[in-house]
């Protein structure tokens, strides 16, 4: 019989980078081309079983990226064990926004929070403006996990959450 891990995870990042789409892909294995912008925040849970029979339960707060909801974020990241800060590889400004969330988390969240930087929309490679190496170097300098994903193609989405489990379990 395997072990059970449980995580409270928060997603942060600029509006339209694909936070809700990543959660929908992870929880329901589904993608919508026309997803409505999140209002406030949404809660979803997902349980996965790893190859070694470890059961991993994620309680996920998918926050709203629109500026008007910014003041709500501390309610969701306080008490979180892990955070996924998402940017869109086709929008340079979204990486700047992600960096400001990382700064805020490192100042205000739990000191041992595991933070993953996630570059989403890799299916749009022809429109890429944020180079992988640049984002990875920033992540390494700041002690963050790093993954590039596509909620649309499902590339690396489960891997993102599995990587977080592996890191958070050892801290």
The residues binding ligand GTP (CB under 6 A) are: 13, 15-21, 32-35, 37-38, 64-66, 120-121, 123-124, 150-152
Residue 38 makes contact with Mg ion by CB under 5 A: yes
Stretch that binds Mg ion, among 13-21, 80-88, 128-136, 160-168 (CB under 5 A): 13-21
Q: What is the largest CA-CA distance in the chain?
A: 46
Q: Select from Mg ion, ligand GTP, none the partner in contact with residue 97, using the beta carbon and a kind-dependent cut-off of 5 to 8 Å.
A: none
Nearer to ligand GTP, 30 or 78 (CB): 30
CA atoms within 13 A on the CB side of 116: 27
Annotate 100-133 with b (16+ C-beta within 10 A) or e (fewer): ebbebbeeebeeebbbbbbbbbbeeeeeeebeee
Q: How far is the CB of 171 from ligand GTP (least distance, A)?
A: 27
> Toward ligand GTP, which CB reaches closer, 67 or 169?
67
Q: How far is the CB of 117 from ligand GTP (least distance, A)?
A: 14
- Give the nearest distance from C-beta 60 to ligand GTP in angstroms: 12
Minimum distance between the CB of residue 53 and ligand GTP, rounded to whole angstroms? 30
Q: For residue 76, which of 136, 12, 4, 13 has the smallest C-alpha distance?
A: 12
Which residue among 9, 12, 20, 84 contacts Mg ion (CB under 5 A)? 20
Q: Which residues bind Mg ion (CB under 5 A)?
A: 19-20, 38
């Amino acid at each position: 019989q395997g072990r059970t891990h449980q995580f409270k995870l928060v997603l942060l990042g600029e509006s339209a980078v694909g936070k809700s789409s990543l959660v929908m892909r992870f929880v329901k294995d589904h993608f919508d081309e026309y997803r409505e912008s999140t209002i406030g925040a949404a809660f979803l849970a997902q349980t996965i079983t790893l190859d070694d029979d470890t059961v991993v339960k994620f309680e996920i707060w998918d926050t709203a990226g629109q500026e008007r909801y910014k003041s709500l974020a501390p309610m969701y990241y306080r008490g979180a064990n892990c955070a996924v800060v998402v940017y869109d590889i086709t929008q340079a400004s979204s990486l700047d926004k992600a960096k400001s969330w990382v700064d805020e988390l490192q100042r205000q969240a739990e000191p041992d929070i595991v933070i993953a930087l996630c570059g989403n929309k890799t299916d749009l490679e022809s429109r890429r403006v944020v180079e992988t190496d640049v984002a990875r170097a920033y992540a390494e300098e700041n002690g963050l996990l790093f993954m590039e994903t596509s909620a649309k193609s499902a590339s690396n989405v489960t891997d993102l959450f599995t990587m977080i489990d592996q890191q958070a379990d050892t801290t």
